[in-house]
């Protein structure tokens, strides 16, 4: 299962090498013009039949959120900060893997016997315990600046999978599936991007290089479909697990091109593919936020797999949503023509 390989690989933002190598082994027989750019994006072209004259870009980000070592305490505990958006409240007790040697560690926490429920959790006050007892031993084991990943492996749970880094290895896996299938009517310019979680950085330079007429981003998105808390009447679902891939209407980084939103929804209706619109009032951004602002502007859309518990060690995604992500995009790309982007 490509998804399992991809999720279990470690690629915290700026350290995506292992993920990139893995993706390359799955696409190399299907693509041309493969290159790794200066930031580390993996760019390639899936040749099409040439029936449609459009430069189409498809992007999925390789990086995952994690932590970074910033210092040492005299007792050998590691100080760290977040790489990407992580809620510090999920960290105490978390198993982690530190640096390229994948040294096992745990985020230190006071046992419930002494802990006060009044304590607030802040990342500045947390430490990682790698089992050494002095600053020297910690410094010998781990360099400042080394990246730290969640220690978590993908498992199947009924119709769902649970694992770290589904954001966005699920999108990477869907894009690999699309590349490995029948060619599209146009050349598909693919970008497996770096550093999305720290500011959509890889996608920005990838789009500058590709110069697309239109772009599609394969992502995951937050799912908050659990029973509503009566104390939080404003809570909305964003997306629902099992409701189909989510078409983004708007997020903090972009308002999706309405022509593409309509085209994607019509494709689903025609093909009988379940889909949902991602609730537009929420925060969050994707690579499309950077891509659509490159050069003189790029009409862009996002198709995302709903995931519960994003940016944690145990995100949950429905497998039929995941399969329908690539089904939707395959059907859409087979039907895509310049007419879709014409103004009325
Ligand atoms: Zn993502």
Q: Which of 16, 146, 196, 197 is catalytic?
A: 196
Distance 166 CA to ligand 1 centre (A): 8
Distance 155 CA to ligand 1 centre (A): 20
Q: Which of 175, 199, 221 is nearest to 13 (CA)?
A: 199
C-alpha to C-alpha distance for 194 and 181, rounded to whole angstroms: 24
CATH architecture of residue range(s) 2-64+164-226+236-338: 3-Layer(aba) Sandwich (3.40)
Pseudo-torsion of CA 11, 12, 13, 16, nearest 10°? -20
- Tokens describing residue 260: 């593409």
Phi first, then psi: give them for residue 302, nearest 5 degrees.
-125, 130
C-alpha to C-alpha distance for 171 and 7, rounded to whole angstroms: 11
Distance 304 CA to ligand 1 centre (A): 9
- 124 part of the active site: no
Confidence at 222, pLDDT banded by 50, 70, 90: confident
| pLDDT tens for each residue of 52-61 | 999 999 999 9
Predicted confidence (pLDDT) at residue 63 exceeds the cutoff of 90: yes
CATH class of 66-150: mainly beta
Looking only at the bridges linking them, the beta strands covering 300-308 and 214-222 are: parallel
Distance 60 CA to ligand 1 centre (A): 8
pLDDT score for 281:
64
Distance 162 CA to ligand 1 centre (A): 16
Confidence at 212, pLDDT banded by 50, 70, 90: very high
Distance 235 CA to ligand 1 centre (A): 22
- Tokens describing residue 261: 């939103």
Distance 220 CA to ligand 1 centre (A): 6
| pLDDT tens for each residue of 259-273 | 999 999 999 999 999
Helix, strand, coil tally for the chain in percent (to 5): 25, 25, 45
C-alpha to C-alpha distance for 191 and 36, rounded to whole angstroms: 10
pTM of this structure: 0.94
- Tokens describing residue 167: 């954001």
| pLDDT tens for each residue of 243-261 | 999 999 998 899 999 999 9
Each domain of the chain, given as residue ranges in start order, spans 2-64+164-226+236-338, 66-150
Pseudo-torsion of CA 211, 212, 213, 215, nearest 10°? -150
C-alpha to C-alpha distance for 166 and 164, rounded to whole angstroms: 6
């Amino acid at each position: 299962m490509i998804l399992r390989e991809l999720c279990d690989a470690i690629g915290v933002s700026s350290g995506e090498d292992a993920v990139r190598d893995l993706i390359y082994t799955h696409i190399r027989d299907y693509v041309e013009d493969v290159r790794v750019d200066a930031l580390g994006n993996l760019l390639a072209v899936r040749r099409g039949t040439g029936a449609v004259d459009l430069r189409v870009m498809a992007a999925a980000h390789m990086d995952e959120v994690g932590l970074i070592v910033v210092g040492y305490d005299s007792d050998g505990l590691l100080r760290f900060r977040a790489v990407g958006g992580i809620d510090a409240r999920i960290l105490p007790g978390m198993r982690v893997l530190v640096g390229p040697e994948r040294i096992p560690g745990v985020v230190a926490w006071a046992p419930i016997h002494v802990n006060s429920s009044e304590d607030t959790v802040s990342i500045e006050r947390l430490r990682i315990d790698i089992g050494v007892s002095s600053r020297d031993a910690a410094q010998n084991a781990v360099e400042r600046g080394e990246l730290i990943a969640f220690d978590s492996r993908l498992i199947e749970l009924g119709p769902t999978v649970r694992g770290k880094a589904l954001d966005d290895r699920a999108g990477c896996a869907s894009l690999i599936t699309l590349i490995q299938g029948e060619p599209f009517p146009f050349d598909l310019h693919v970008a497996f991007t770096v550093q999305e979680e720290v500011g959509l950085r890889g996608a920005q330079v990838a789009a500058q290089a590709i110069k697309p007429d239109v772009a599609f981003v394969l992502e995951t998105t937050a799912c908050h479909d659990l029973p509503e808390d009566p104390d939080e009447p404003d809570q909305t679902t964003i997306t629902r697990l099992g409701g189909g891939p989510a078409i983004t209407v708007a997020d903090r980084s972009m308002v999706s091109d309405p022509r593409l939103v309509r085209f994607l929804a019509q494709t689903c209706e025609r093909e009988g593919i379940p889909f949902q619109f991602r609730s537009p009032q929420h925060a969050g951004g994707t690579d499309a936020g950077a891509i659509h602002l490159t050069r003189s502007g790029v009409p862009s859309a996002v198709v995302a797999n709903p995931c519960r518990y994003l940016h944690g060690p145990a995100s949950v995604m429905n497998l039929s949503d995941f399969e329908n992500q690539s089904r939707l995009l395959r059907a859409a790309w087979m039907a895509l023509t310049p007419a879709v982007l014409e103004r009325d």
